[in-house]
């Protein structure tokens, strides 16, 4: 089993036929792979930073939107209360005018009866 190479081994050191060029080639391959990994790592790190910044900006925007919506809701609730009060005032005025109209109608009917009966000239 000692004669078998594992998957992590670059060379089978039990084989005496590898040369200096083999070592240099393997080292160059490792350097290229390291550079590729480093580049990928930097890209991912930059992407994570952008996502974090985006998330922070998004959270800030969301909080600003929430504050804006709360302010707008508060304004609408005040306006709604004012409209309810105005509606109540208009209903009361309408009832008062209905009473006045009813009174005028009764007076008109009474006056017409008096006129018909000849009591009013």
pLDDT score, position 22? 83
pLDDT score, position 12? 64
pLDDT score, position 115? 83
DSSP secondary structure code for residue 89 in this structure: H
pLDDT score, position 106? 92
pLDDT score, position 111? 87
Give me 106's structure tokens: 């009764």
Q: What is the Cα–Cα distance from 4 to 21, expressed in whole angstroms? A: 22
pLDDT score, position 3? 47
Nearest 5°: phi and psi at 8?
-80, -15
pLDDT score, position 6? 57
Which whole-number Å values give the CA distances from 3 to 10, 14, 15, 18, in the listed order? Answer: 14, 6, 9, 15
pLDDT score, position 8? 62
Instruction: Answer whether 47's CB lies under 8 Å from 58's CB.
Output: no
Beta-carbon contacts of 14 under 8 Å, excluding residues fewer than 6 positions away, are 2, 3
CA atoms within 13 A on the CB side of 30: 10
Name the stretches of the chain with pLDDT < 50.
Answer: 1-4
Which conformational region is residue 6 in: left (phi greater than 0), alpha (psi within -120 to 50 degrees), or beta? beta
Alpha carbon dihedral 43, 48, 52, 54, in 10-degree steps, equals 50
pLDDT score, position 26? 86
């Amino acid at each position: 089993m000692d004669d078998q190479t594992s998957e992590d081994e670059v060379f089978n050191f039990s084989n005496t036929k590898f040369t200096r060029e083999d070592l240099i080639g393997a080292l160059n391959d490792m350097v290229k792979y390291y550079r590729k990994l480093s580049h990928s790592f930097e890209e991912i790190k930059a992407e994570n930073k952008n996502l974090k910044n985006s998330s922070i900006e998004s959270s800030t925007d969301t909080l600003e939107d929430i504050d804006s919506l709360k302010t707008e809701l508060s304004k609408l609730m005040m306006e709604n209360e004012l409209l309810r009060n105005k509606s109540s005032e208009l209903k009361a005025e309408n009832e008062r005018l209905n009473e006045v109209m009813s009174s005028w109608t009764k007076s008109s009917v009474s006056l017409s009866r008096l006129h018909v009966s000849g009591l009013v000239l």
